[in-house]
Amino acid sequence: MANFTPLSAAIGGALIGLSSVLLMLLTGRIAGISGIFAGLLKVRSDDKAWRIAFIAGLLMVPVIAGAIGYGMAAPKLPSSWAVIVAAGLLVGFGTRLGGGCTSGHGICGIGRFSARSIAATVVFMVTAVLTVAVTHHVLGG
Amino acid sequence: MWIVAPLVCGLIFGTGLLVSGMVQPTKVLGFLDIFGAWDPSLAVVMAAALAVAAPGFMLARNRSRPVLFGQFFWPGKSDIDAPLVVGAGLFGIGWGLVGLCPGPALESLATLSPRVIVFVAAMTGGMLVHDIWQTSWPLVRRDGPVASAADG
């Protein structure tokens, strides 16, 4: 557990929880990122302004952080483009079919004690852990 | 000026992801790698988020409407069905392959990393495939009451 960072994790997590609560209290919307983003892909919708504003806020964070000296390094992703594309397709299709991702089910859903979201979170955690076990320890990637 | 509210929420959410380290796939994969050098940080992120979100949502539940709009869009579904389980399972496989879920992926677009751009393009493609498939061959009826939303 050499990489364990409990303090920054707790502060960051509390901020994510605060954002979810504020979005619901102020606008009545669930802070599920896959759902917010997917709503932008609908052709006929008058429900896009708040989605664009939220995602603009997300995108501004690394820019502001960089300007004040806390620049964000580009994420380290696999070297294989095929793996990146496959993962993206699975994340996009899976979050729509399952109705949510880590934020919508894992935080907002469990935060409402929704059995549906607890089930979804258990399932995606299990398949993610198994995927990492296979790619890191069986295939040795 | 209501548009400021979702913008600020996005800023707070993104700051939380950045501060907690969850924008870095290595950090997320460290949590998912329970058979390797396990890093429990993501569990602390979720616990702290839930410690704030659970009482906050209870507070919201006691209100008849949100501060800026006429109605709450609470998710309308409560049943655990096959699309939920299969969808969550597929999402988990993709998440485990690269360590990116939608929030960190969108936030990381700001680094202009070509790999992130390709990941988000593929994610968008996956969502569109789902939407086109559901429009052509509906698997589940998604029309619920007016003031309901998808889970997240």
Q: What range defines the domain where residue A100 resides?
A: 6-138
Q: How many domains does chain A have?
A: 1
Joined together, the tokens standing for residue B144 give 């619920």
B122 to A60: CB separation less than 8 angstroms, yes or no: no
Q: Is A92 in contact with A18 (CB distance < 8 Å)?
A: no
Burial A3-24 (b: 16+ CB within 10 A, else e): ebbeebbbbbbbbbbbbbbbbb
Position A8: which residue type?
A: S
Interface predicted TM-score (ipTM) of this complex, two decimals: 0.96
Q: A106: Cβ–Cβ under 8 A, 6 or more apart, which residues? A: A117, A121, B46
**By the 8 A CB rule, do B109 and B120 touch?**
yes
Assess if residue A1 is contained within a domain: no
Residues 46-75 of A with CB under 8 A from B: 49-51, 53-65, 70, 72-75
Structure tokens at A87: 């993962």
Domain residue ranges in chain B: 1-72, 76-141
Residues contacting residue A25 through CB under 8 Å, at least 6 positions apart: B56, B59, B60, B63, B66, B67
Residue A128, pLDDT score? 98
- pLDDT tens sequence across A81-105: 999 999 999 999 999 999 999 999 9
**Which of A25, A91, A121 lies closest to B94 in CB terms?**
A91
The answer to whether B121 contacts chain A (CB < 8 Å) is yes
What is the C-alpha to C-alpha distance for residues A126 and A123, in angstroms, rounded to an integer? 5
A32 inside domain: yes
Residues in B closer than 8 angstroms to A23, CB to CB, are 5-6, 9
The whole-number pLDDT of residue B151 equals: 75
Measured between beta carbons, the chain A residues lying within 8 angstroms of B56 are: 17-18, 20-21, 24-25, 111
Does the CB of A113 have a partner CB in chain B at under 8 Å? yes
For residue B41, how far is the Cα from the chain centroid? 18
Specify the length of chain B in residues.
152
Q: What is the pLDDT of residues B39-71, one digit of tens each?
A: 999 999 999 999 999 999 999 999 999 999 999
- Residue A86 inside a domain? The answer is yes
